[in-house]
Structure 1
């Protein structure tokens, strides 16, 4: 398989930049509120994609498809961010991580009915293995809490799952660049309600925070989401791409160690190993099983 046609490469590019975003976001929240940081991040992403739009002469989407792009922007950038931040106010970080880790499961479940996508028993088993890895990673040294924040977090997970499905639909007709760019544009427009407070906060932020914003906007948003859409365009099933989201907690822990001096605990190593094993089983388990059977 040629690299340019390999959805695994594009999915991993996205997951690496998204994992980096979690660490940079924690560092940036020392100076910005969650809502203003969300607007500034996607404002930078939009500015980047506008430049790309001009240079590539990217075509506008058809008028009949605008509602899908607006919905993608609302679900994947506006509503998701608000629901996630509200949820994180009242639950532990461990609880938040494990709830958002249900996104691949929700995406696969909904795709089963919306796109009639089927998964093998091996792939469902792999999802369970990966979810168990996230549970070990987040709960081995943590406490699971139950309150209204869980409702917001499950709504955030559902919004992100529906965004994944919309990306799958849009990439059937538009390029990955068009699909992600216009979704981000509409999401940024909706997030502009936080513009006034964002302006006040960014004028008082130190230079390093500007650097974080550029990385978050250009790499963790513009490039990451284009790559994510590209993966959906090349994969046969939605679940093949969304499945990579299970790797995010593990990579986030590694980046936290490298950038923020957060020492990985035993749960990180054990949970991360389980997650990576599950990803391997999901993508290559059936082929490996066929090889084993043929050798018998």
Structure 2
């Protein structure tokens, strides 16, 4: 495969910027509520995308596809941002990244029942191991009742998995820019529910917080999601792209340490090791599976 036709650089770009998001979300949550931050992050992304839409004369989606973009906006941005930001309030960057790294497994599990992708017995075992790791994380951090942040992050991983499957569907018809753009627009429209709170938080927020929002909106949202959609458009199957999320715990932990000085606690090391072990086991099982190629669709 020629490098220019490969999904790898696009997937890798997304993972780098998403790893940054764990750190800057934690930093921004010092000044904004989880709901305000979600709205401001995607309002910033929408402004950038709106400028690109006019500059590049991007065509709007067809009416019959609007429901798919609404669901993509709800799962990938509105509901995901709420769950992710609430989870990040009480969970460190390294721990949250480990939990969100469950996304490839959940994506494959959903794909099994929606688009009939098969799972080998070894992959089913890997799913059990990964969720056991989440249980270890929960218990070591204080018990099942106290650690609601972990439950929110597991929900966020499930929502992102739904978004991944929708991106696979939408990029069969639309370009990566169109797919990301209209999904983000829909999600931002839903997030306007939190506009009053965002205005209130902005009044007391320091100047540095605007830098955090800019990084989250431009790089961790606009650039990252366009690259993610581009990766799905170029890849032969869903798991090839989503498996890139396996590396986010390592990148997010490193960035959290270097940028925010966050320590990596024992719960993250032990629980994370179990989860990563399950993810690697799943990846090994997938490598032993024969996945049929798909014909690359034409884009508008």
User: Which residue in 1 is equivalent to 2:8?
Assistant: 8
Distance (Å, rounded) in 1 between the aligned partners of 2:257 and 2:147: 31
Q: For the structure 1 residues 10 and 27, does the alpha-carbon distance in structure 2 shift closer, same or farther, using more than 3 Å as the test?
A: same
Deviates further, 36-45 or 204-213: 204-213
For residue 38 of structure 1, give the secondary structure of its aligned residue in structure 2. Answer: helix
Structure-2 change in CA distance of 1:273 and 1:69 (3 Å): closer
1:4 to partner: Cα distance: 2.3
Q: Deviations over 1:133-170 (max 9, x none)?
A: 97699579645524794765544333221111101000
Shift of the alpha carbon at 1:114?
A: 1.9
TM-score by length of structure 1 reads 0.81
C-alpha contact 2:19 2:97 (8 A) present in aligned 1 = no
Query: Is 1:145 matched with 2:168?
Result: no
CA contact 1:15–1:248 (8 Å) conserved in 2: yes
Q: Distance in 2 between matches of 1:36 and 1:219?
A: 18
SS in 1 for 2:30: coil
Is structure 2 residue 225 aligned with structure 1 residue 225? yes
Q: Is the 8 A contact 1:46 1:188 kept in 2?
A: yes
1:191–1:134 distance in 2 versus 1, CA, 3 Å = same
Distance in 1 separating the partners of 2:143 and 2:96: 9
CA 1:105–1:260: 2 relative to 1, 3 Å: same
- Does the 8 A contact of 1:131 with 1:246 survive in 2? no
RMSD of aligned alpha carbons: 3.5
Distance 1:37 1:87, change over 3 A: closer
Shift of 1:92: 5.9
* TM-score, normalised by the number of residues in structure 2: 0.80
Counterpart of 1:79?
79
User: Within 1, Cα distance between the matches of 2:252 and 2:137?
Assistant: 12
Bigger Cα displacement from structure 2, 50-59 vs 145-154? 145-154
Tell me, which stretches of 5 or more residues in structure 2 are unaligned? 291-300
CA 1:75–1:172 in structure 2 vs 1: closer, same or farther (change >3 Å)?
same
Q: Deviations over 1:20-78 (max 9, x none)?
A: 01100111111100100000000000001111111111111011101100110011111
Measure how far apart 1:87 and its partner are. Answer: 5.6
Q: Give the gaps of 5 or more residues in structure 1.
A: 288-296
1:242 and 2:242 aligned: yes
Name 1:35's counterpart in structure 2.
35
In the alignment, the residues of structure 1 paired with residue 151 and residue 269 of structure 2 have an alpha-carbon distance, to the nearest angstrom, of: 26
**Across the two proteins, how many residue pairs are aligned to each other?**
285
